[in-house]
Chains A and B, each alone.
Chain A
Amino acid sequence: MMKIKSLLLSCALGTLLTGFASLQAADATAPAHDIYLCATISKNYVIGSKLVTNSGVYRRDAEGAFQHFGVNFPFVLNIAFDPRDRRRCYAVCINGVLQSTDGGVTWGIGNSWDMTEAKDVCIDPNLPDHVYLALPDGVAVTTDRGATWVRQEKGLPERGKYTQTIRVDRTKAGRVFAGCEAGIYLTENGAKSWCRVFPASQTVTDIQQSPHDPKLWYATTQAEGLQVSRDGGATWRKVAAIPTAEAIYNIAFDPTDARRAAISSWVYGVFTTEDGGQTWVERNVGLPADHTAFRVGIDPGNGRLFVSLYREAMLTSDDFGRSWRGVASLEGATVYNYVFVPKPAP
């Protein structure tokens, strides 16, 4: 703990401020994407507490600082924006799914009591009225932009359908992967039926599709390390370089460079590849000794790498993990997700 505090102190007092200034300088051209963070900053928050800090969703402003966006809610894990109209968005949280149709000014709870503690949300870019929800007891789908949410679990196991992550194949409407306790499940028909394409002994934690090659997918897991598919998710094999004894939390592709990707792990810290996954390298110099890496994200505008340390800070790297510096205003935060959304046309 002391090491983390020392790190933060040095970040906060020195490197961080100058580093943050240089981060802005590096962004001389206006970014093409907005960055949203799903973050909880209420350290020691427990159910019922007053909200003494803002949590929920943060958006990077024109000056590069993160400003609170929308509802102040402690456990927002992910947010998805309708590609046709960014004012319509879906945020998953302990209550289920929060929905807004006015750009986050007002929100409503989309689900009833029979859905809870949603873990992930994903919009089908080819059918944006269709939104998929990952739940601790399965999967729910709306086909009417959140007006109604319906369980769609045929083919998921009765036990083992704890769903941590859900991801839509951008190349085909209704083709969706669900990362469950029992493995990766695939539907080709908008969740009308599911079949298992990868068996797991414990939870699949993240699934991502390459922005460069739609056939390339990675999945992080709790007990099977990092899995890769090069045939659109039909088959998966383990990435040998990544250990499997401890959980891998998530993976991020670099949209600016097809060779680069990064993974986070509480125990292992950050690994990156810069050769299309042939080799993976630990990038933990400058991170605390116990790592606690919770989430990585990569800015699609410039390839900048972010890592969130659990309840401590968000760090960023301009050299893809070789060195790290703190990001101002997010001390004590846990970032659950980095969400990059193309800016609307002017």
Chain B
Amino acid sequence: MKRPLLSLFAFFAATLAASAQPAFEAPPPTTAPVLDAQQRRAEYLHRVDEVLTWAAGGGNAKTDDPAKLDLAMIAAKIVRGEDLPGCSQRVIALMKEPGTGPFWMFPSVCIAYLGRDRLTPEALASIRTAWRTTRQLRGDTENHWAMYYLSLYLMAELYPNEPAETWYSGKSSAENLAEARSYLVHWMDLATTVGQGEFNPTNYIGEYVMPLQFLANWAKDPEMKQRGTMMLDWFFAELAVSTLNGVLRGPNSRADEGSVIERWQAMASYFSWLLFGNTPPTAGYSGWGLYFAPLAKNYELPEVIYRIATDRTDDYLQRDRARVRRFWRYSDELSPPVYKTNYVRKDYAVGSTTGGRMDPIQAHVWDVSWAEGDPRGKHSTMFSLHPHSAPEAMMATFVTYPEPMIKGVTFEGKPSYDSPDKTLGCSPYERVFQDLDTVIALYDIPAGTRFPHINGFFSKDLLNVTEDKSGWIFAQGGRAYLAYRPLAGYEWIKYLHYTTGWAKTRLDLGDRLLTSPHLKNGTIVQAASVSEFKDFAAFQAAINALPLTFKLEPTPSVQFTSLRGKKITFTYDQTPVVDGRAIDYSKWKLFEGPYLNAEIGGRKLTLTHGKLERVLDFNTLKITDRVK
């Protein structure tokens, strides 16, 4: 299995010369784990170099004209030692028009640190001046605050002992440092005791791990440096366990249409490619992802995380907790718990939360998604949802009046929010239960609700979609057989896709929606591997033989014996029962599965793969590795 490094490098060098973004344009990488540590490291470093080469060469701008460099390109040039005078001049120019919040703060911190010994004093001073003159918005989400305070912390450490009037905040270096540290410790405490609010984000993972990487590298305070290192491992461990062939699956606190329909189309895939090498990178390395590259060579991915990410030999079930972002109002709890289930097999993955309210705009509640040899352009997923759109949902999490948020959000990067045929979002009228590769989603939508129907997503990449007289709809996705059972009448409509958050028009990509205009409703999905059956017909026969009874009035309720022999009773708003035993969510741990384990309130995550074990203990701020 060990490959000659020299030839590997020669191959990479050739591809770098031949193509602007080689891995994006090349055939998909193998998903087989690289067992040799030296080779794995070499391949990782080469991927880092690919990103740096692309960014230093002008990235999406496709020019190395210094006048057109952005901060990511400058960062790449600095670490490569290229055109430092030009970089200095460009920094000075860019600092004349600084941004206004965390998305500007962490790139400018990146340049301030990388450029310490390389940029001109004038360039460094221009960054410092911008941090005095331009008011910085803290934002209103968890990722905003992480970026804001990680950036503020590092800048305050970089410029200690400076008075209040030299900072945009009107606070001294010491005051800024103390406030930032206080928040960061608070946030890490929350994340390691009751979970992330923005759990498993498809794109926002970058907004956390990039400034955390800065903290891990540049913090002077050894405690904060260690916290940065440990949180990086924490995030990447979650990514590893939630991916199949590098593609993030299952529920997400925050996603977008692109990453829900085409699951690979997410910044998470960029990090999987970079760290695990088992999926292609996204176009332009997801833009923001470029900021991870300048320091990426300093990061050593723990082998246990790599193994968790790449070993799909055995099926596994991971049950975890997270929390909802802050509900300022319309809720009895500030941050209710989220219960996540992910069941991952070689050919497909099934993941869910229990439904209800989460992020008001961007939540993705459940799906069955299958592996594809090349995930690019593939819509390898199946799910249903109630397309909820309501002022109260917005007002719960945003400090807004009832009407303007819905109007505003549709032209602020979330164009589908108020669309009846959307495929993104959660609903207070959805309840979900998952047992292994069986999902039951029930809906009880009050009369008068905007968009009084449910949507089921049927991918263009499904094969042999068959509407059986039994009521089941059978299909094949990759090497997964899928059975979808709508519990009420439906019709088919085209799914029209917003290609970006700023798109004004929608495209027909060939997908369909099963739309069902019944307020009391439901969906059952049962997945199985192709390898489990002689043929498609045998799968259908097996599904049709499964005992199923359901009723929709007065409350949707299902009794179903799954393909795995589990007798499931699930009624809307009632505790699910499996084989006569009620599911007790109160006993769920923060992480529980073969790979990740942590107690609620424990501040300690244990990562396990085979004989490898790594413990991230935030109580003692110690990392312990052992081979059992």
A interface residues, Cβ below 8 angstroms from B: 44, 46-51, 71-75, 94-95, 98-99, 106-109, 112-113, 116-117, 119, 136-137, 159-160, 162, 181, 203, 205, 222, 246-247, 249, 266-267, 292, 294, 310-311, 334
Contact = CB atoms under 8 A, between A and B. Distances in A.
A109 B170 contact: yes
A109 B169 contact: yes
B179 interface: yes
B170 A107 contact: yes
B42 interface: no
Given A44-B411, A48-B103, A106-B170, A74 B137 contact: yes
Contacts of B399: 117, 119, 136, 162
Contacts of B171: 108-109
7 tightest A-B contacts by CB?
A: A108-B170, A48-B103, A113-B183, A162-B329, A136-B328, A266-B403, A181-B329
A116 B140 contact: yes
B268 to A, nearest CB: 20
A247 B331 contact: no
Given A113-B183, A136-B328, 17 more contacts: A44-B412, A47-B101, A48-B99, A48-B104, A50-B99, A50-B100, A72-B135, A73-B135, A107-B135, A109-B171, A117-B399, A159-B331, A159-B334, A222-B402, A267-B403, A294-B401, A311-B404
A246 B401 CA distance: 11
A205 B329 contact: no
Contacts of B182: 112-113
Nearest to B103: A48
Interface string B170-187: 110000000100110010
A222 B408 CA distance: 19
A71 to B, nearest CB: 5
* Of A46, A49, A94, A98, most B-chain CB atoms within 10 Å: A46
Given A50-B97, A50-B99, A247 B170 contact: no
Contacts of B183: 113
B200 to A, nearest CB: 22
Interface in B116-174: 134-135, 137-140, 144-145, 149, 164-165, 169-171
B170 A99 contact: yes
Given A49-B99, A181-B329, A266-B403, A113 B179 contact: yes
Nearest to B327: A159
Interface in B394-418: 395, 399, 401-404, 407-408, 411-413
Contacts of B411: 44
B170 A205 contact: no
A180 B61 CA distance: 49
* Of B98, B165, B399, most A-chain CB atoms within 10 Å: B399
Nearest to B170: A108
23 contacts: A47-B100, A47-B137, A48-B100, A48-B102, A49-B99, A51-B134, A72-B135, A73-B135, A74-B137, A94-B137, A94-B139, A95-B137, A107-B135, A108-B171, A109-B170, A112-B179, A113-B138, A113-B186, A136-B399, A162-B329, A205-B401, A222-B402, A266-B403
Nearest to B152: A113
B99 A113 contact: no
B77 to A, nearest CB: 22
Contacts of B140: 47, 94, 116-117
A250 to B, nearest CB: 10
Contact of A249 (B99, B170, B401): B401
Contact of B403 (A71, A98, A247): A247
A113 B175 CA distance: 12
Nearest to A73: B135
B97 to A, nearest CB: 6
A277 B111 CA distance: 60
A162 B413 CA distance: 27
B179 A310 contact: no
A294 B164 contact: no
A49 B100 contact: yes
* Of B99, B331, B333, B403, most A-chain CB atoms within 10 Å: B403
Given A95-B137, A113-B145, A203-B329, A247 B101 contact: no
Contact of B412 (A46, A94, A160, A222): A46
A86 to B, nearest CB: 19
Contacts of A119: 399
A302 to B, nearest CB: 29
Contact of B102 (A47, A112, A159, A266): A47
A265 to B, nearest CB: 9
Contact of B332 (A50, A159, A205, A310): A159
Given A50-B99, A99-B170, A159-B331, A310 B144 contact: no
B257 to A, nearest CB: 17
Contacts of A266: 401-404
Contacts of A181: 329-330
Contacts of A106: 165, 170
Contact of B401 (A109, A136, A247): A247
Contact of B138 (A44, A49, A94, A160): A94
A205 B411 CA distance: 25
Given A106-B165, A113-B179, A47 B149 contact: no
Contact of A108 (B169, B179, B395): B169
Nearest to B407: A310
Nearest to A134: B399
A91 B299 CA distance: 43
Contacts of B328: 136-137, 162
B138 A46 contact: no
Contacts of B412: 44, 46
Nearest to B391: A247
A294 B407 CA distance: 13
Contacts of A334: 404
A106 B170 CA distance: 8
Nearest to B187: A113
Contacts of A203: 329, 395
A298 B395 CA distance: 28
* Of A95, A109, A249, A292, most B-chain CB atoms within 10 Å: A109
A30 B367 CA distance: 66
B395 to A, nearest CB: 8
Interface in B213-241: none
B44 to A, nearest CB: 30
A47 B103 CA distance: 8
A70 to B, nearest CB: 10
A222 B333 CA distance: 21
Contacts of B101: 47-48
